[in-house]
């Protein structure tokens, strides 16, 4: 009889456990770019069980050159996406009902890197030179900066020439441009790996120049924010994600290894990802996920000055999710 009771008790326990496992809420995150340490906090949160602890079953979808996160989000292929604020605001003004719900990145990693041999030591030396930049919204801070400096961007009237470049540093290395946009955690190191030294370069960090815009925020739809169950799920997601980011900041090498384990392409290297994770940690440091309203206002103003949006955005962010996550 005792054996039967034991079996029944064990069976009930297994049944409860199975029910609990099935009760985990599914949530899909669409990244802005390919699997790399730029998104290390999310991979760490998944690998270390932080999402599971919050009752979530999170799927992380890598991005790429042919993937538009906002389209994936609006098409129902994801519940949350990672995006930079200028492109998100532009999409919202065009009718996409997307809202910033958290801002893990407190600082910008974008900068302009110039070859010192061209004699560019300060912004006063820009006129007459060609500045290469990525487009798709990434060019907005640079255009705004040139506008503040009073420089034309088509090479006329003693201004500069803004040239669209791909997401690499080849034009800079091949001297097709005198300066090129780079990220502190990625393209800058591609220049170094190509054989140049920091002494060969002059860098202008957008953060230092007062032209930085918010990067790598978390966005969802207005429809999701109107659903109490989804709001609860999103709050748990943000809480676990920020736990992942803090762990990644404190355990850079382990976080890089976790990213590598999730890279299905095999394109990333340990050296590059460890270095990237170290630089990314500087951008998330001090952030609890809550959006800085002053940083938002500055970013929106720069986005308007760059011509990407025509009016100040309304309803483009909410503290509701982070307030619940930080309770």
Convert the pLDDT of each residue in 31-54 to its tens digit.
999 999 999 999 999 999 999 999
pLDDT value for 158? 86
Cα(119)–Cα(175) distance, integer angstroms: 13
User: Is pLDDT above 80 for 239?
Assistant: yes
CA neighbours closer than 13 Å in the CB half-sphere of residue 181: 23
Does the structure show a pLDDT above 50 at 19?
A: no
Higher pLDDT, 172 or 156: 172
What SS3 class is residue 248?
helix
Residue 139 clears pLDDT 90, i.e. is over it:
no
> Alpha-carbon distance 50 to 30, whole Å?
18
Pick the residue with more confidence: 308 or 218?
218
Q: Which one has a higher pLDDT value, 86 or 22? A: 86
Over residues 309-316, the mean pLDDT reads 95
Binned at pLDDT 50, 70 and 90, residue 156 comes out as confident
Is the pLDDT at 13 greater than 60, yes or no?
Answer: no
CB 279 within 8 A of CB 107: no
pLDDT confidence of residue 67: 93
pLDDT: which is higher, 22 or 287: 287
What domains appear along the chain, each with residue ranges and CATH number?
24-106+214-325 (3.40.190.10), 110-209 (3.40.190.10)
Question: What pLDDT, on the 0 to 100 scale, is given for residue 136?
Answer: 75
Helices 293-305 and 85-93: crossing angle, nearest 10°?
70
Do residues 79 and 97 make contact, with C-beta atoms less than 8 angstroms apart? no
> What is the pTM assigned to this prediction?
0.89
Residue 115 backbone dihedrals phi, psi, to 5 degrees: -80, 125
pLDDT band, residue 137 (cuts 50/70/90): confident
Average pLDDT, stretch 259-278? 94
Give mean pLDDT, residues 240-247.
Answer: 98
pLDDT at 4 over 60: no
The pLDDT value recorded for residue 22 is 58
DSSP state of 261: H
At 6, the pLDDT band (50, 70, 90 cuts) reads very low
- Strand partners for 29: 60, 80
Give the pLDDT score at 5.
45
Ordered alpha helix ranges (H), the chain: 2-22, 40-47, 50-53, 69-74, 85-93, 140-149, 170-173, 187-193, 206-209, 222-225, 228-250, 252-262, 270-284, 293-305, 320-325
pLDDT digits (tens, 9 = 90+) for 318-327: 999 999 999 8
Q: Which of 18-32, 139-153, 284-298 has the lowest mean pLDDT?
A: 18-32
Is pLDDT larger for residue 285 or for residue 168? 285
For the residues 159-168, what does the mean pLDDT come to? Answer: 93
Whether the pLDDT of residue 174 is over 90: the answer is yes
């Amino acid at each position: 009889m005792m054996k039967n009771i034991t079996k029944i008790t064990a069976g009930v326990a297994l049944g409860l456990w199975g029910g609990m496992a099935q009760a985990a809420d599914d949530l899909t995150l669409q990244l802005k770019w390919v699997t790399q340490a730029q998104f290390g906090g999310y991979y760490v949160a998944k690998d270390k069980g932080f999402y599971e602890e919050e009752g979530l079953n999170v799927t992380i979808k890598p991005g790429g050159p042919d993937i538009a996160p906002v389209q994936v989000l609006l098409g129902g292929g994801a519940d949350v996406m990672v995006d930079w604020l200028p492109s998100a605001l532009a999409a919202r003004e065009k009718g996409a009902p997307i809202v910033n719900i958290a801002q893990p990145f407190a600082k910008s990693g974008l900068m302009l890197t110039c070859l010192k041999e061209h004699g560019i030591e300060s912004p006063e030396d820009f006129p007459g030179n060609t500045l290469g930049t990525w487009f798709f919204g990434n060019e907005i801070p640079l255009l705004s900066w040139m506008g503040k400096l009073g420089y034309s961007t088509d090479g006329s009237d003693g201004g500069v020439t803004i040239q669209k470049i791909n997401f690499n540093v080849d034009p800079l290395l091949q001297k097709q441009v005198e300066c090129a946009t780079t990220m502190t955690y990625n393209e800058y190191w591609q220049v170094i790996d190509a054989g140049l030294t920091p002494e060969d370069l002059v860098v202008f960090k957008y953060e230092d120049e007062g032209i930085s815009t918010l990067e790598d925020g978390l966005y969802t739809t207005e429809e999701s924010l109107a659903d109490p169950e989804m709001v609860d799920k999103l709050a748990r997601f943000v809480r676990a994600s920020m736990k992942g980011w803090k762990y990644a900041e404190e355990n850079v090498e382990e976080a890089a290894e976790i990213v590598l384990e999730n890279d299905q392409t095999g394109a990333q290297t340990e050296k590059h990802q460890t270095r990237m994770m170290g630089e990314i940690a500087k951008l998330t440091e001090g952030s609890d996920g809550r959006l800085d309203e002053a940083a938002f206002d500055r970013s929106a103003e720069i986005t308007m000055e760059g011509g990407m949006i025509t009016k100040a955005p309304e309803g483009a962010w909410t503290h509701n999710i982070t307030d619940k996550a930080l309770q």
